Chains A and B, each alone.
Chain A
Amino acid sequence: MSMEAALQTYFTEAREMLEDMEAQLLEIEHQDADALPETLNAIFRAAHTVKGSASLFGLDGIVDFTHVVENLLDRMRDGDVGVSPELVSLLLRCQDHIATLVDETEADGEVSEDSRILSRALIVELGAYLDEGAGSASDTSGLPAAGKEVEQAHDYPEDENDDTVDNDCWHISLRFGRNSFRDGMDPISFLRFLENIGTVRHILILDDWLPDLADYDPEDCYLGFEIRFMSSATKKEIEDVFEFIREDSDIHILAPYSRLSDYIDLIESMSEESDRRIGEILIECGALTEAELAKALALQAAAEEADQSRRLGEIVAQDDDRLTPVVDAAAQKQTQMRDAINRKQKSLRVDADKLDHLINLVGELVTAGAGTFLQAQILGNAELIESMSKLNDLLEEMRDASLKLRMVAIGATFSKFQRVVRDMAADLDKEVDLAITGADTELDKSVVEKIGDPLMHLVRNAVDHGLESSAEREAAGKPLTGTISLNAYHDSGNIVIEVGDDGRGLDPDKILAKAREKGLVGEDQQLSRAEIFDLILRPGFSTAEQVSNISGRGVGMDVVRRNVIEMRGRTEIDSAPGEGTTIRIILPLTLAIIDGFVVGVGKAAFVVPLDVVQECVEFSEVDQTERDGQTYINLRGNVLPLVNIRHRFGVQGERPKRRSVVVVKAEGQSVGLVVDRLMGEFQTVIKPLGPVFTGLSGISGSTIMGSGEVALILDVQGLVQQITRGERTAANH
């Protein structure tokens, strides 16, 4: 692993920690007193980890600031500083600021001047709380006072592990083999390589084996090294640096926070050297303090005298009050590291592109399987058909399983809104709770990525316009605190996401009046209740009499609609006056698979998304009427505009006598597609069109049929829009 990669891991990890920190901070205000200590501890841990790892990489900009935050959190954890909404707000701002520091460091390698200034300003604010805490605390050393320069934060003593501070490095003992030079193994190269995965804090070259002139062979290697090495690498990674000299050289690697007994083992394992000398070396390069070594050697001697076989580390742990916490802390640290590693190993980070590629391949495999099955049927070999159908079942299971790989819980998306709701409520002077249910509901990652924006608009709109002001609520006899609810669940192959509020509700009469005023609805046009509510998602519609700067001018709401439609989803709105509004987004579980209805025109096949298909009727040219270049038929008394797929896509070939009309509905408008053949339902994996085709209207993707032929997926939405636009243009003539 390179330093770069390790650093990358750090940035990812820091962001996760900060998200966690934010979530926990938002918890605090809604929490019982007995749950508080654990929450505070979790917040402290997040800050501590962000700071601790940053210091491994020498990211001072992050360390200096986060350290002060960590101090304050430590005080809060100890109960020296009380929790207040103002303090939580400050900590949220600090958390944002740390995230900025992390982003800047990743982008530019350092923290911007603006951020440094903000760091100082925030430290002043934090200082006020630290001072307050100092009144009740016995020890304030190491806490920067308000207004102090950030740089001074460097000299803090490590509060909780004073005794282990010297041991936060790896300790590496190297004794090179006599033939190292002859074998081309120069210590310089290995030591330089070591710098790739960490920082050599101190290196001590040992001349103990250098012989007298008479015995000296200039091609022999007599060198040894003791190294204090600061690194986040694993022991394996450090060992690997020396893999080529492992067999001929003597290499010992001790982890940070190793027990004293490990050092004693090291001392004892260096058989050629005296214990005393090794001890001195360990002190000289800073691995052990003199006191620790003296204690260790004395205890070792005492233990030998008493003929006790107990290991020295245990003796130290039992007999020495001062050292006990050190050993415990070290052991605890190791346990924590192990736990973290275990946790990480339970899940695996996979590049999303790789997953997409896999799903694509599996999709093609299913298609190829279907094609082979077809061939088997043509051949009529019963055994082949039998085994092919087994294979196909497995392939389909495999496709479902691979699609599941890309499913993620929506919870993380939902919990981002905690902050949005909180900030907006403060700005609007409303009291708002966010109730989240169904956070475990899983949906395709590609859907999750696209749903964030629409949800943001809906939530903002609900807080801003949906909920009444506190005064209004009080007058209406409702609880002062309004509730915004986010909910998700699966419903027959779809995922449903609801954004609800318990606010004033929608007034259908008002909406309709406004829509008429704006010319969105004709004067005599009759609309159902659902259709009226649907108007609020139309472009250019806003019912808010007061346009606030938060949710804007209703611009966002039509974005919601557009995004949802792009995802082949739809929206539903429920509302009751005085009780609130719920907007429901209904989406396919995955964007990768489509339930299609296959139609044939000439030799070409087209796929119509099944969910827009209303019915199929027989086509007769006689019933067709034409006006302004647009053809229509009369469908049970209603005018149905037609799209002749053959003409629309210039399909060649003879026109059959019998043709069909597939009635599809989109954007509230029904349209008939004239096709040659109906070929039935077909579940298929969508392949996006290449960039060459992005300008192509009426087509949204392609898929490969069981026969191996390519079928184009019709963009029904687009086709319908073209017709409605065409009608408007025609009407204007």
Chain B
Amino acid sequence: MEKTVMIVDDSASLRQLVVLALKDSGYRVVEACDGVDGLSKLDAGRVHLIISDVNMPNMDGLTFLKEVKKRPDTRFTPVIMLTTESAADKKDEGRAAGAKAWVVKPFQPQQMLAAVNKLIQ
């Protein structure tokens, strides 16, 4: 079954990198540029895994994460948070909100693919 991954990040190139990393392995990728966009696209169809940046305009990643964890149709969906080494306090907050998978930027495409595979292969 084709699984759908959502990437939420304000950087188009980063989203592109994620698409490249995942599409060859048979994942469908939905792109969203910030938390608000992400939430509206979650309404459009089922998503098996969400990758989200922390620092974004409009709605930041942690707020988005908390919204995702509130929604009955997404609250158990695994979330990979993208982070930079320096954002340790954000990480604690995110973990408490239910985001256990963290990937440090920059990452190699195959690292991202491995992270996704670990969660929804």
Contacts and interface: CB of A to CB of B under 8 A. Distances in A.
A186 B114 CA distance: 15
Interface stretch (B16-24, B38-46, B55-63, B72-80): B72-80
A177 B77 CA distance: 16
Contacts of B13: none
Given A182-B76, A183-B100, A185-B78, A241 B118 contact: yes
A189 B121 contact: yes
B29 interface: no
A183 B62 CA distance: 15
A181 interface: yes
B5 interface: no
Contacts of B33: none
Task: Say which size band chain B's interface belongs to.
Answer: 10 to 19
Contacts of B121: 189, 192-193
Contacts of B95: 247
A557 interface: no
B100 to A, nearest CB: 5
Contacts of A669: none
A245 B102 CA distance: 11
Nearest to B78: A184
A193 B100 contact: no
A189 B117 CA distance: 7
Contacts of A196: 117
A190 interface: yes
B49 interface: yes
Contacts of A193: 114, 117-118, 121
Interface string A166-191: 00000000000001011111100110
Contact of B119 (A189, A219, A247, A248): A189
A244 interface: yes
Nearest to B118: A193
Interface in A219-260: 219, 241, 243-245, 247-248
Given A182-B76, A183-B78, A184-B79, A245 B117 contact: no
Interface in A197-219: 219
B120 interface: yes
Interface residues of A, number: 19
Contacts of A182: 75-76, 98
A732 to B, nearest CB: 62
B112 interface: no
Contacts of A247: 95, 100
B100 A245 contact: yes
B101 interface: yes
- Chain B interface, >50% SS class: mixed
A441 B110 CA distance: 40
B108 to A, nearest CB: 12
Interface in A512-530: none
Interface in B23-51: 49
A193 B77 CA distance: 18
Given A183-B98, A183-B100, A247-B100, A189 B118 contact: yes
A184 B117 contact: no
Nearest to A242: B118
Given A245-B100, A247-B95, A247-B100, A184 B77 contact: yes
B120 A244 contact: no
Nearest to A5: B110
Given A182-B98, A183-B98, A244 B76 contact: no
A219 B72 CA distance: 13
Contacts of B120: 189
Interface in B95-109: 95, 98-102
B105 to A, nearest CB: 16
A244 B81 CA distance: 11
B49 A184 contact: yes
A183 B99 CA distance: 7
A247 B96 CA distance: 12
A531 to B, nearest CB: 60
B52 to A, nearest CB: 13
A244 B100 contact: yes
Interface of A: 179, 181-186, 189-190, 192-193, 196, 219, 241, 243-245, 247-248
17 contacts: A182-B98, A183-B78, A184-B49, A184-B77, A184-B78, A184-B119, A185-B78, A185-B100, A189-B121, A190-B118, A192-B121, A193-B118, A196-B117, A243-B118, A244-B102, A245-B100, A247-B100
Given A185-B78, A189-B121, A193-B118, 11 more contacts: A183-B76, A183-B78, A184-B79, A185-B100, A189-B117, A189-B119, A193-B114, A241-B118, A244-B100, A244-B102, A247-B100
